[in-house]
Amino acid sequence: MVARRRADMFTADGRPSDDDPREHGPHLGDERTTLAESLRRQRLTLELKCGGLDAEAMARRSVPPSTLSLLGLVRHLAETERDTFRVMLAGEDVPRLYTTPDEPDGDFDGAVPDDAVVAQAWDDWRAEVDFATRFVAQAASLDLTVDDGDNTKGSGGGAISLRELLVGMIEEYARHLGHVDLLRERIDGRLGQ
């Protein structure tokens, strides 16, 4: 039998408890509430797993030649939130946060070990999460559709609903939280949960 390193997990005993902010949301909700709560927990998991790290640790790359870092993921997820909720769903004409046609990987390449860069990334991410949370709460219906003509969100190039975009955002976080688990364990041995 292999020993588990529970002491290195993020909550005291590795199980849901009062010290885990992900466990205090609504239960048995309708579809909108269920999707929004799932996304809320994914977002909180990102914050939990990046908590307590300095700028050097946040910007530390995984394994050369990869540019993957916790900071890069925070910046990437801020950009993804902005693109999905502000640009695509709300129709706002706002610039991208970190990437440009000349620097398509600016979210990861610009993730440098600087306190101001880390603080800005978290500020940007929180602003986009706040906007998205309000947008979802105020949307008339999950059936709200927008055109995904360039197929950036996996619609096949046509209409896509708020419902599908919420599921896609949950998938985006879930995929990257696996990366976050490995990055954090490499930094200080903390295990994901």
144 in any annotated domain: yes
Number of domains in the chain: 1
The CATH number linked to 58 is 1.20.120.450
The tokens 């500020």 sit on which residue? 123
Per-residue model confidence (pLDDT) at position 191: 76
Distance between CA atoms of residues 144 and 5, nearest Å? 45
Per-residue model confidence (pLDDT) at position 178: 92
51 in any annotated domain: yes
- Burial code (b: 16+ CB inside 10 Å, e: under 16) for 107-135 equals bbebbeeeeebbeebbebbeebbebbbeb
Per-residue model confidence (pLDDT) at position 193: 64
Contacts of 176 (CB under 8 A, 6+ apart): 46, 73, 76, 77
CB atoms within 10 A of CB 83: 18
Averaged pLDDT in 10-residue chunks for the chain of 193 residues: 48 54 63 94 94 96 93 98 95 96 94 98 98 98 88 70 96 95 90 68
Residue 36 vs residues 7, 59, 62, 164, 175: alpha-carbon distances, Å: 31, 29, 30, 12, 17
81 in any annotated domain: yes
Per-residue model confidence (pLDDT) at position 23: 60
120 in any annotated domain: yes
Distance between CA atoms of residues 60 and 108, nearest Å? 11
CB atoms within 10 A of CB 17: 10
CB atoms within 10 A of CB 149: 10
8 in any annotated domain: no
134 in any annotated domain: yes
7 in any annotated domain: no
Distance between CA atoms of residues 65 and 129, nearest Å? 30
Tell me if 57 sits within 8 A of 112, measured CB to CB: no
147 in any annotated domain: yes
Task: Note down the domain range covering 95.
Answer: 27-188
CB atoms within 10 A of CB 146: 18
Residue 141 φ/ψ region, left for φ over 0, alpha for ψ in the -120 to 50 degree band, beta for the rest: beta
